[in-house]
Chain A
Amino acid sequence: QKEVEQNSGPLSVPEGAIASLNCTYSDRGSQSFFWYRQYSGKSPELIMFIYSNGDKEDGRFTAQLNKASQYVSLLIRDSQPSDSATYLCASAGGRRALTFGSGTRLQVQP
């Protein structure tokens, strides 16, 4: 079982819709969770991080964490074609290195 799992997609949504990206993790010692966006051929860039159960909002993005279910999600409201990219979920905890899922490819249709 991979430590961080994501559906590879592609997830296709129309412009203006809400995109919902999901991630599960296996290590209950994980304490910090991150969402990165990666455009093709570029390095990942941090979108959001979340440490506590519940929701965290930043502009059009909302991260959700449920430690009991070992589940992290990212909601993108009012999706734009420029949001089309691969979204990587990552976790960190203790002395373990930052661990990434394999990413979900999002396509926003104009």
Chain B
Amino acid sequence: DGGITQSPKYLFRKEGQNVTLSCEQNLNHDAMYWYRQDPGQGLRLIYYSQIVNDFQKGDIAEGYSVSREKKESFPLTVTSAQKNPTAFYLCASSILQGEAFFGQGTRLTVV
């Protein structure tokens, strides 16, 4: 099955803890993206990558970090510097300038 897989579906983070969200795709897409969605809001871009070993900050990159060591994988780390991390996180992939396909999302909650 071709697709994009995010894990875990639900994640709980304690104050001051770093957590990593996984995103894997087997669509052979060059571009991958991380978006954050708050309740009733649109998608805000955190980071994106258009090629292995390269990535760019989006609109709300502070408190987040990413890596792109393999074409298939684009993990997102939510660091303790992100003061309000509770949100729905969406990973997507696409060919360059093409339509993006989304994973099922990770719902992160601070406890």
Contact = CB atoms under 8 A, between A and B. Distances in A.
B21 to A, nearest CB: 14
Contacts of A32: 97-99
A84 B77 CA distance: 34
A102 B104 CA distance: 19
Nearest to B50: A95
B35 A100 contact: yes
Nearest to B104: A43
Contact of B45 (A93, A94, A95, A97): A97
A17 to B, nearest CB: 25
B67 to A, nearest CB: 17
Contact of B42 (A49, A95, A98, A100): A100
**Contact-residue bracket for chain B:** 20 to 34
B92 A98 contact: yes
Interface in B5-43: 31, 33, 35, 41-43
A92 B42 contact: no
Given A41-B88, A92-B94, A100-B42, 15 more contacts: A31-B97, A32-B97, A34-B100, A43-B104, A43-B105, A49-B99, A88-B42, A88-B43, A92-B98, A97-B31, A97-B48, A97-B56, A98-B48, A98-B100, A102-B41
